[in-house]
Structure 1
């Protein structure tokens, strides 16, 4: 599938840990299709996870109460060629369908198949969330299994991080471990 100069919408997840696991997807898409324009649609409580990520061009974030209405409006007016639906709820597949996006990628469950143009069955229970996301990208011939989630920080966050590292005598090239999920 040729994604050069394409507009891609990604319907993100509502939980912080799940959102973190989607981050390698954006890097993989840009690696395989550098000119693609990626817009993430997400709820406000996880929008900060996507900020400062150079692989994401736009973030559309709304409160849960207005997410459906505002996302539908933005998806329709955005002229998107492709929508990757990371959330498994039926309503998100319907959202992309109603927006008229021609290529809609997601997992088939709960009657979603009719609303998806590219679909696959859910992997077995216990499959790691990174693999869930990689399997969706497989449908687009995009490989992401060699990438790990990375959260990028802006100027203020970078200064704050440096202060914390110094306060706790952590080495500059040390590691910070986040447990998400």
Structure 2
């Protein structure tokens, strides 16, 4: 049986933005099975997805055993958006005859085909990922599908909204957390935006993972408990459902932005340590807000644990009024 492997064990947002690449592979090779390797814990993201025949989880342990597992599958092609040394070596050891990856990946010399990885103004990550298929254009007629997509059943969506006593379009979602502290806007600023949304007649739902609880709890507290704090209280599918049904999402440069893109939910993305030129700006109905003119931005591709300059101006000086102005603009669209 002909099989193709897509290897993406990065964070949730990165995985979601890989959906157009996965769909393009499936549409281009309809007679092939498409298998997807994901980080352990993200198996449910593409469960029952029409473009994926099998999801394989990898916990980044058992390096040699996992390589052997892939070798036994007899894949004819591997496409890797993930740029780690580990990924390049695993795919090489798996014996897959054709392996496509980025030229800036660790051990990139182990790929049979290398694609230039670059950051360009206006280039979204979705388009950068689809560029991984360019080496195949010489031999095949490819079909590109550029829409971000997350599988979500109507029953799961409706059940989620009913569970939390919400109605579509009558609430806004705030996602104040981040894996990287320098990408997180101040909780007191998020609380001001939340209070503004309440005045506009919307319920305010605060979401995040368990690691975001400090941020979410603080925002909820500063809002006087008038929001609905669902941080770490939802499954992945419930988290997706909440964003799908929202009138608007306000989030840091993090995975909720890309979930919103999948459901065409308007989003305001707040930038601090990172910049839109990295390619993770809203892919659809959204706008971003940033403090321009700071020479220290960006201070890293992913942000960091603390501001290298010690002043955190990129977030401290980005006042709620500026974000509220953009929120108002999207609400009136």
Aligned to 1:157: 156
Deviations 1:81-131 (A, max 9, x none): 001111011221111111111000010125533211111221225642112
Alignment match of 1:43 (pick from 39, 45, 54): 39
Aligned to 2:52: 56
**What TM-score, normalized by structure 2, do the two folds share?**
0.46
**CA–CA distance in structure 2, aligned partners of residues 46 and 91 of structure 1:** 19
Q: Give the aligned length.
A: 172
Query: Over the residues paired in the alignment, what is the CA RMSD in angstroms?
Result: 2.6
CA contact (8 A) 2:21 2:129 kept: yes
Unaligned runs of 5+ in 1: none
Deviation at 1:159, TM superposition (A): 4.8
CA gap of 1:24–1:111, structure 2 versus 1, over 3 A, is closer
**CA–CA distance in structure 2, aligned partners of residues 113 and 106 of structure 1:** 7
Equivalent position SS for 2:162: helix
Alignment match of 1:19 (pick from 15, 19, 23): 15
CA gap of 1:7–1:110, structure 2 versus 1, over 3 A, is closer
Write out aligned runs for 1:5-154 (5 A): 6-66=2-62, 68-109=63-104, 112-124=107-119, 127-141=123-137, 142-144=142-144, 146-154=145-153
**CA–CA distance in structure 2, aligned partners of residues 111 and 150 of structure 1:** 28
**CA–CA distance in structure 2, aligned partners of residues 138 and 153 of structure 1:** 30
Higher relative contact order, structure no. (Cα contacts within 8 Å, ≥ 6 residues apart) = 1
**What TM-score, normalized by structure 1, do the two folds share?**
0.81
**CA–CA distance in structure 1, aligned partners of residues 22 and 163 of structure 2:** 29
Higher Cα Rg, which structure: 2
